[in-house]
Structure 1
Amino acid sequence: MAVGVVTAEIGEGAPGTRGLTYPFDEPPEFGEAVAVAPGVLWMRLSMPIALSHINVYAVEDGDGWALIDTGLNIPDSRDRWDALLAGPLGGRSVTRVICTHMHPDHIGLAGWLCQRFGVGLTMTRLEYVTGRMLLADTGQPAPEAGAVHYRAAGWDEAQIETYRREYGQFGRAVSPLPSGYTRMREGDRISIGGQDWRVVVGEGHSPEHACLWREADGVVLGGDQILPKISSNVSVWPTEPEADPLGDWLASLERMKAVFPDDVLVLPSHGEPFRGVHTRLDALIRGHMTALKRLEKTLREPRRAVDVFGALFARPVGDGVRGMATGEALAHLNYLLQRGRISRTRDADGVYWWTMINEGEAA
C-alpha cells in the first residue's frame, strides 16, 4: 500500500503522551461499539498490517447514521460492517458517508457503503480528486519519473524494480469511489442530526484532511491529523518531488493549537480517544524539530536520503515501509532545503547528495 497511513512501523513510538487523559477504559472489541459522546459511537476494524486497526465512528443522523471513515476494502472489514450494522447500529439505515481523507484505510469501503445504501459521499475536494487519481493508476505501468525519483533518493536497481512491480496497487484496498461527491471546505458547518460540525482542514499528511468539530460539546473527529501515540506519515511522493509537506504539516499543527480549546475530546483514527490536544500538538511539533536537529548533524557529511533513516526513525526500516520512510526522509530534507539550511547536488548516476550549509557559506 504505497500511500500509507502513519509511521507506526518506523516512527518513535509514543513520544509526548504525558499530560493526555483517556476517558474510556477499553477500546471496543471488533463487532462492538462504545458510546463516546451523545449520539456518537466508536467502532474498530482490523487491518492486516503492523498498525492493526482503524477507528471508525457513527453519528446519529435522524433515523439513521452518518459514518465517518470506512476501513480497507477487504473481506474481513465488509464482514465486520455487516455485524456492526445489524448489531450496535440496530439495523438502521446509513444516511451518508464522510471520509476525513483519501488514504485506503479511510476510503476503502466508501464506494461499497454508498452503493449499498444509495447515499452520497462527503469529502474535501483535494482528497476526493486525489483518491480518484490514484484509483485511475491501478494496474497501470509505473512511470519512469518514479524510478528517477527513487534512484535519486539512493534506491538500488532491485528496489526500483520492486517499486515498478508494486505500482498501481491503491485500488486493491479501495472499492470504486462514487462518480460524484459533496464537497466540504475549511470553515464549513455540516449539520448531522440537527447539530453543527465545523470543518477544520489540515495539510501535510494528506492534501486537504478534514477534522470535524462539534463546538457545542467539544467533540473532534480527528482522523489522522491528531493521533495520541504515533505520528502521522508526512511524505514527499514522486508526483510532487519538490513539495514541502512537513512545512504544511507544522503550520497546520500550529493553527490547530489556536483553533481547538485544550479540553476538546479528540476521537482519532488510531489509538484511543483522548483529552489534552494542546499537549499532543506541542509534542508532535517538538518531535519533528528534534528530528530536524538530528538530521542536520547527520548532514555534516554528504548523505543520500536513504542514509538518513537512522537520524529520523527509532527502528530499522524494512522493505515493507521503505517507500514511506523515503518519503518522510525527503519531507524533512526538502523542509531544510527550502529554508536554505542545506544544499543538494546530483551526481553522474542521478543520485542526490544532501549537505549542511555552514554559516559562512549561507552568508
Structure 2
Amino acid sequence: MKDVPEVTFPFTPPAPGEAVELAEGVLWLRVPLQNFRPDHVNVYALDDGDGWTVIDTGLDSPRTREVWEMFLSGPLRGKPVRRVLVTHHHPDHVGLAGWLQAKGAEVWTTRTAWVTARMLTLDEQDRPPPETLAHWRRLGVPGEIIAERAAKRPFNFADCVSRLALGFRAIGQGQEIVAGGRRWRVEIGNGHAREHATLWGIGHEIVVTGDQVLPGITPNLGVQVSEPEADPVGDWLASCRRLGALAGTDQLGLPGHRRPFLGLRARLAELLEHGEIGLDRLEAFLSEPRRAADCFAVLYGRTIGSGEYLLALNEALGHLNRLTRAGRAVRESAPDGAWRWQAVAGAARRDELATDMPDASR
C-alpha cells in the first residue's frame, strides 16, 4: 500500500449474510441493528484453520441470530467459531457473545468489559430508579420528558444481550494474540468505553479499531448515572493522542461501524481536531449559565429526537465535565435543583486538553 494522506475507503460493504475478504483469512461481515444509529455493526472473522476467531457480534435478537446462522453456514463455511473477541462491553458488540459461547466459543475481552457486561445483564429494571430520575433533574431535563420516561421500561442489557456464562479469557495492554494466522498487539483505549481493546497488526498493516476510532462519525462519549463525574471526553482525547503516535499512513483500519478505511493517522488527527473545536464551541456557548439539556444545538447542530435524547444528554454531560475538569468552566446548583455551567474567563485552552489527568490505558 502507498502512503495515504487522508481517509479513503477501498471496500464496498458486504451484502446481507455475505462477507468481503479484506486480506487473506480476514472477512468483513455486517450485522443489522434495528432502531439504532448507525443501523449496523461490523463483525470481523479471522480464519484459524480449524475454526474462526470472530470480533464482536451484534445484539441478541431473533433477526441477529438468523443472520448469524446465515454466516455460519455461508461465508464461515460450517467451521466452528472457537473464539469471540469482544472489543468493548456495549450491547451491539457483546450481544451474542453468550450465544456463541453456548455453541462452544471462548470469550476473550478485557476484564472491565466482561465484568461490566455481565453486571448490566443482571441489573434488570422495569422502571427507572429514583437516582436516575434525580440525575435527569440535575441535568435540566424537562419535567414532561421525565414523567414520560418514568412510566416506561428503560433500556436494559438483558433485553438484547445473551447471558454470559461464567468463564472468559482476559486480555490487556500490550498482550500479543495470534488469530487468523497473524500476530496482533492489544492496545487499550478509553472514553467511549472503559478498557476498549484495539488490535494492532505485528508484521502486517491491519488495525482493529472497534468504536475507539470510527470513520465519518465520532463515538458517543457519554456519562452514565452510575459515574456522574466521569470524564470520557478527556479519556478519549488522551487515548487518541497515544494511539496517534502508533498510527501510520498505510494501515487498514477495521472500525465497529461504517467501512474499513485507509489513513488511520489522518483520521486520528481529524478526531482530535474535531474534539477540540467542539469543546471550544461549547465553552463559548457557556458565556452565560447553561444546563446540560441546553447544549444540544451547539454540540450537534441539529434537532435531537426522543429516541436519541438520553444519548445526547449523556454526551453533553461528558463535554461539560471535560471543561470543568480542565478548569475552563464551573458548575453550580441553581434554586430549581438543576446544575448550570459557565465558562471561566481566561482559562487554558485546547493545548492543555486531557493533560490534567493520566490516560487510564497507560
**TM-score where L is the length of structure 1:** 0.91
Structure 1 position 153 matched with structure 2 position 112 = no
Structure 1 position 201 matched with structure 2 position 207 = no
* Partner SS, residue 150 of structure 1: helix
Moved more, 138-147 or 271-280: 138-147
Match of 2:32 among 46, 55, 70: 46
Structure 1 position 121 matched with structure 2 position 114 = no
- Map 1:279-294; keep pairs closer than 5 Å: 279-294=266-281
Structure 1 position 263 matched with structure 2 position 250 = yes
Structure 2, unpaired ranges of 5+: 348-362
Residues 44-98 of structure 1: CA deviation (Å, up to 9, x unaligned): 1111123211110100113111111001111111111111110111111111111
2-structure distance, mates of 1:314, 1:359: 26
Is the contact between residue 37 and residue 219 of structure 1 (CA under 8 Å) also seen in structure 2?
no
Match of 1:353 among 335, 340, 344: 340
Is the contact between residue 134 and residue 168 of structure 1 (CA under 8 Å) also seen in structure 2?
no
1-structure distance, mates of 2:143, 2:288: 24
Match of 1:76 among 44, 60, 63: 63
Shift of the alpha carbon at 1:193?
A: 4.3
1-structure distance, mates of 2:155, 2:310: 14
2-structure distance, mates of 1:31, 1:269: 17
2-structure distance, mates of 1:63, 1:268: 26
Q: Counterpart of 1:330 in structure 2: which amino acid?
A: L
Q: Which residue of 1 aligns with 2:353?
A: none
Match of 2:19 among 33, 37, 56: 33
Q: Which residue of 2 aligns with 1:8?
A: none
Q: Counterpart of 1:160 in structure 2: which amino acid?
A: I
2-structure distance, mates of 1:339, 1:69: 34
Query: Percent same amino acid at aligned positions?
Result: 44
Greater RCO (Cα-Cα under 8 Å, separation 6 or more) = 1
Superposed CA RMSD in Å reads 1.6
* Partner SS, residue 166 of structure 1: coil
1-structure distance, mates of 2:181, 2:167: 24
Q: Which residue of 2 aligns with 1:214?
A: 201
**TM-score where L is the length of structure 2:** 0.91
1-structure distance, mates of 2:108, 2:186: 12
Residues 176-208 of structure 1: CA deviation (Å, up to 9, x unaligned): 112121000010011224432111110000011
Shift of the alpha carbon at 1:278?
A: 1.2
Shift of the alpha carbon at 1:166?
A: 3.2
Is the contact between residue 230 and residue 321 of structure 2 (CA under 8 Å) also seen in structure 1?
yes
Moved more, 344-353 or 155-164: 155-164
Q: Which residue of 1 aligns with 2:291?
A: 304
* Partner SS, residue 275 of structure 2: helix
Shift of the alpha carbon at 1:159?
A: 2.1
Match of 1:57 among 44, 52, 65: 44
Is the contact between residue 100 and residue 106 of structure 1 (CA under 8 Å) also seen in structure 2?
yes
* Partner SS, residue 78 of structure 1: helix
Q: Which residue of 1 aligns with 2:231?
A: 244
Match of 2:328 among 321, 324, 341: 341
- Number of residue-to-residue matches in the alignment: 342
Q: Counterpart of 1:227 in structure 2: which amino acid?
A: L
Is the contact between residue 182 and residue 202 of structure 2 (CA under 8 Å) also seen in structure 1?
no
Shift of the alpha carbon at 1:37?
A: 1.3
* Partner SS, residue 266 of structure 1: strand
Shift of the alpha carbon at 1:300?
A: 0.6
Q: Which residue of 1 aligns with 2:302?
A: 315
Q: Counterpart of 1:84 in structure 2: which amino acid?
A: F
Structure 1 position 223 matched with structure 2 position 210 = yes
1-structure distance, mates of 2:257, 2:17: 17
Match of 1:131 among 117, 135, 146: 117
* Partner SS, residue 340 of structure 2: strand
Q: Which residue of 2 aligns with 1:6?
A: none
Structure 1, unpaired ranges of 5+: 1-16
Q: Counterpart of 2:131 in structure 1: which amino acid?
A: A
